[in-house]
Amino acid sequence: MADTELDERKVKILNAIIKNYLETGEPVGSRTISKYTDLNLSSATIRNEMSDLEDLGYIVQPHTSAGRIPSDKGYRFYVNNLIAAKDKEVSEMQEWMIEKTEKMESLLKNVAKVLATNTQYATMISAPSVVSNRLKFVQLSAVDEHQVLSVVVMDGNIVKNKIINVEKPLDNETMLKLNMLLNTNLNGLTVNQINLALITRLKEQAGIHDEIIAQVLDTVAETITQDEDLQVYTSGATNIFKYPELSDSKKASELLDTFEEKQSLMELLSEGGTSDETGIQVYIGDESPISTMKDCSIVTATYELGDGVKGTIGIVGPKRMDYENVVDNIKSLKGQLDKLLKNTET
């Protein structure tokens, strides 16, 4: 589409404008471009072209007699070209300091942090959704007379615990029986597959201890689903103060609120409309689904953990974001996560 609208010279000028604006954050004028580019043109010519570009909607003037800044459409054009062109460099990125960590939680926190310090933007990452994930192992153990600990391990070594209070102590034998029952029936199942029929059958087999089974299953479902909407880790939220266009009191406060209240981040991250085969999604300005981020750009990527279980990693920054660096970084991390998580599984 761009081809019909923009000749090569306009493209060059537009790119020059955007690049310059990304660096300085100031509106860029015709004279600057006249010197900045290699096509030797006077400022007057550039002015004419810029006027055209403005008519086409790629750039705007913050006010009469100011330079031009990219519009959302302009950014979009730039980003599209960028992502299309840049697929080669990805592989040769340096290895990050992600150590193979046992706990998913610290791994994710780590990733968010690495990405934040590397890009100087705010980052977030959602834990892989557990909904279609399989149960690997269940165990009940008596902690003391009135408390039973239930441990649930999911694929990808996600571990959940819950303490269950019981009226009277369970003897060893019952415990064994219950464990056996649970493991033989539940192992390998996804959370979705645990349906009412199965539950009823389990309860029957548990006899007088059906209530415990119920509690365990409650636990499984509850811990997993309840936790799910909190499983977003953020880092570098305060980086937004590095960008004047975001750091006036009101905007900064709203943005940080959004970051603290993970709920809407979660929704954003699970949107997952993957725009292209790389799995990288870029929201520019108004394209963002979160209203407090209308003045930001968001770059997200989904990483996979085996069979369709996905999490998402994302970056939030000003619209004049260093898209190139961000996309590279995020691609690299996504790759490492994909690899790492697939290996972890047996």
What x-and-dash track marks residues 63-102 binding a copy of itself by CB under 8 A? ---------------------------------------x
Of the two residues 64 and 346, which places its CB atom closer to DNA in the complex?
A: 64
Residue 260: which of DNA, a copy of itself, none does it interact with, CB under 5 to 8 A by kind? a copy of itself
Residue 117: which of a copy of itself, DNA, none does it interact with, CB under 5 to 8 A by kind? none
Of the two residues 161 and 193, which places its CB atom closer to a copy of itself in the complex?
A: 161
Rule CB under 8 A: is residue 340 a binding residue for a copy of itself? no
Residue 65: which of a copy of itself, DNA, none does it interact with, CB under 5 to 8 A by kind? DNA
Cβ-proximal residues to 122 (8 Å cutoff; 6+ apart), any chain: 116, 234, 235, 236, 237, 238, 239, 240, 255, 259, 315, 316, 317
Residue 205 tokens, joined: 């087999």
- One residue of 9, 47, 86, 162 binding a copy of itself per CB under 8 A: 162
Strand-pairing partners, residue 283, are 298
Of the two residues 84 and 163, which places its CB atom closer to a copy of itself in the complex?
A: 163
Rule CB under 7 A: is residue 44 a binding residue for DNA? yes
Residue 41: which of DNA, a copy of itself, none does it interact with, CB under 5 to 8 A by kind? DNA
Rule CB under 8 A: is residue 235 a binding residue for a copy of itself? yes
SS (H, E, C) the chain: CHHHHCCHHHHHHHHHHHHHHHHHCCCECHHHHHHHCCCCCCHHHHHHHHHHHHHHCCEECCCCCCCEEECHHHHHHHHHHHHHHCCCHHHHCCCCCCCCCCCHHHHHHHHHHHHHHHHCCEEEEECCCCCCCEEEEEEEEEEECCEEEEEEEECCCEEEEEEEECCCCCCHHHHHHHHHHHHHHHCCCEHHHCCHHHHHHHHHHHHHHHHHHHHHHHHHHHHHHHHHCCCEEEECHHHHHHCHHHCCHHHHHHHHHHHHCHHHHHHHHHHCCCCCCCCEEEEEHHHCCCHHHCCEEEEEEEEEECCCEEEEEEEEEECCCCHHHHHHHHHHHHHHHHHHHHHHCC
Residue 264 tokens, joined: 């809407």
Rule CB under 7 A: is residue 54 a binding residue for DNA? yes
Residue 42: which of DNA, a copy of itself, none does it interact with, CB under 5 to 8 A by kind? DNA
Strand-pairing partners, residue 295, are none
Residue 67: which of a copy of itself, DNA, none does it interact with, CB under 5 to 8 A by kind? DNA
- One residue of 61, 132, 205, 336 binding DNA per CB under 7 A: 61
Of the two residues 66 and 143, which places its CB atom closer to DNA in the complex?
A: 66
Residue 10: which of DNA, a copy of itself, none does it interact with, CB under 5 to 8 A by kind? none
What x-and-dash track marks residues 243-282 binding a copy of itself by CB under 8 A? ----x-x--xx--xx--x----------------------
Rule CB under 8 A: is residue 181 a binding residue for a copy of itself? no
Interaction site with DNA (CB under 7 A): 26-32, 40-45, 47-48, 50-51, 54, 61, 63-68
Interaction site with a copy of itself (CB under 8 A): 102-103, 136-137, 139, 141, 143-147, 149, 151, 153, 157, 159, 161-163, 235-238, 241, 247, 249, 252-253, 256-257, 260, 346
